[in-house]
Amino acid sequence: MTVSPNTLLAIVMMGFATYLTRVAGLYLADRLPRSGAVRVALDALPPAVLTAVMAPAVLTGPIEMVAGLLTALAALRLPLIVAVAVGIASVAAMRFAFG
Amino acid sequence: MNTPTANTLSEVRAGVAAILPAVIAMIPFALILGQQAASKGLTPLEVLAMSSIVFAGSAQMLAISLWTEPAPIAALTLSALLVNLRHVLMGASIASKMAPFDRWRAPAAFLMTDEHWAVAERRALGRPLTLAFWLGSSVFLFLAWQAVTVLGAVFGSFIRDPERYGFDFAFPAMFIALALGFWKGWRTAPVMAASGLVATAVHATAPGAWYIIAGALAGIAVAVALDTGAKPDVGKVRA
């Protein structure tokens, strides 16, 4: 039941970065461009980051790729948590069948 | 006419009621996050520190999936900044509605999360946002997040061989579903394709978390390049 100093430093730095993003919008409200390239880049940022995060884990093998596809199909129709359950269940089932 | 105290209490209660569905939906993710953190060697106390200091689900999930010992501080900080940049847009949109908070506006922003922001925005559509509503909803979510992530860390360490049950796929699946929440028709497809392919290529060749930055930049570059080609402003004028 300990906290390593290095881990705590990492957590504090992450917390600082996160708070910066939370408070910045309050002061930038009137200055963010409503159109143009910067706006397009800001709008594209969330899906681009999220895709970059998950892609290597999904493109790692055929089982994960099929499960990723099933998750995506489920996510278009069903609540988030159900889509995640579909992903987990399909990976587990395929690993059981083919692994 | 309500007394100020009764009014405050009913605002706190309204906030708790408004965030309740999000709290229930958060439970399985918080359990998985705690379990994954434990499997990477974080102690329950370290999970509590992260959940209370960072208090951002997707940033914490990303951090745990990148986690190695010793913690790669620069990569973790930069990833938290990148994955949370959406907060800037959310804050910009809710800034004017937080005006009644006065000098508590900046401290209150610490408790802003995706779900809470959505609840506060929805409330502001009908009636002015109050600090009591803001705190009632966000503090409830905050305390629940601490409790359940720590619970996941304590009991998660008892789950052996989580790959067998597909638990390692929980985060990728969640990020797929979250990314598709930003789906704006087929023009999002090239953005995601560029991001995913570049991220996978960099992941295979470079150590650390740089694949996220490389992939995100590739996706953004494609979005900007395609936008200039499509000239949406011209279409708007014509319509």
C-alpha to C-alpha distance for B136 and B11, rounded to whole angstroms: 7
B173 to A87: CB separation less than 8 angstroms, yes or no: yes
Residue A40 CA neighbour count, 13 Å, CB half: 20
The CA–CA distances, whole Å, from B159 to A82, A90, B165, B171 equal: 22, 19, 10, 17
CB contact set of B238 (below 8 Å; sequence gap of 6+): none
CB nearest to A48's CB, from B72, B105, B191? B191
Residue A72's pLDDT is 95
CB contact set of B86 (below 8 Å; sequence gap of 6+): A21, A45, A46, B114
Instruction: Look up the ipTM and state it.
Output: 0.83
Portion of chain B with pLDDT greater than 90, in percent:
49
Instruction: Give the phi and the psi of residue A55 in degrees, each rounded to 5.
Output: -55, -50
Banded model confidence at residue A1, pLDDT cuts 50, 70, 90: low
Is B187 touching A (CB cutoff 8 A)? no
Bond prior to B70 in cis (omega within 30° of 0): yes
Residues from chain A that touch B49, judged by Cβ atoms under 8 A, are 3, 7-8, 11
CA distance A64 to chain B (A): 8
B179 to A40: CB separation less than 8 angstroms, yes or no: no
pLDDT of B212 > 80? The answer is: yes
Give B120-148 pLDDT, tens digit per residue. Answer: 988 998 899 999 999 999 999 999 999 99
pLDDT of B158 > 80? The answer is: no
pLDDT of B210 > 90? The answer is: no
B219 to A44: CB separation less than 8 angstroms, yes or no: yes
- Segment B23-28 shows an average pLDDT of 83
B91 to A25: CB separation less than 8 angstroms, yes or no: yes
Residue B4's pLDDT is 67
- Segment B153-162 shows an average pLDDT of 78
- Segment B213-217 shows an average pLDDT of 89
CA distance B13 to chain A (A): 24
Give A73-98 pLDDT, tens digit per residue. Answer: 999 999 877 898 999 999 999 999 98
Residues from chain B that touch A76, judged by Cβ atoms under 8 A, are 180, 183
Q: Are A76 and B180 in contact (CB under 8 A)?
A: yes
Banded model confidence at residue A42, pLDDT cuts 50, 70, 90: confident
